[in-house]
Amino acid sequence: MGFVKVAETSEVPTGKMKMVKVEGKEILITNVNGKYYAIVNKCTHRGGDLSKGSLSGNIVTCPRHKATFDVTSGKVVSGPKVPLGPKIKDEPSYKVKVEGKDILVSTD
């Protein structure tokens, strides 16, 4: 499929994030110090909407059970703040590039 435009840089300022849909997939676009990253938007614990969580530096916190992920890699930083539940996995990540003012993501 290659790269697809998902947003413009003005829509995702430094320290912010935005959920976009590409081919029926929800993807979280983040801007960490002027560099853009993309991971799956649904928490791997119980499917929480990461775009409704908080972003601090390169760490996104799920609003449901407070699991945290590094948006630059999709890696789990800490698990959910509940004692039981499915094992949490890393978030799939996507390649991102910027062309002019356009943010493009590859889901290949």
| CATH code assigned at 92 | 2.102.10.10
Cα dist from 39 to 35, 61, 80, 94, whole Å: 14, 13, 18, 6
Q: Which domain holds residue 21?
A: 3-106
Confidence bin at 1 (pLDDT 50/70/90): low
User: What was the pLDDT predicted at 37?
Assistant: 98
Question: What is the total count of domains within the chain?
Answer: 1
Average of per-residue pLDDT values in the chain: 93
Q: How do residues 44-93 score in pLDDT, each as one tens digit?
A: 888 899 999 999 999 999 998 899 999 999 999 988 877 666 678 999 99
User: What was the pLDDT predicted at 59?
Assistant: 98
Q: How do residues 31-40 score in pLDDT, each as one tens digit?
A: 999 999 999 9
d(CA 19, CA 40): 9
Check pLDDT > 90 for residue 20: yes
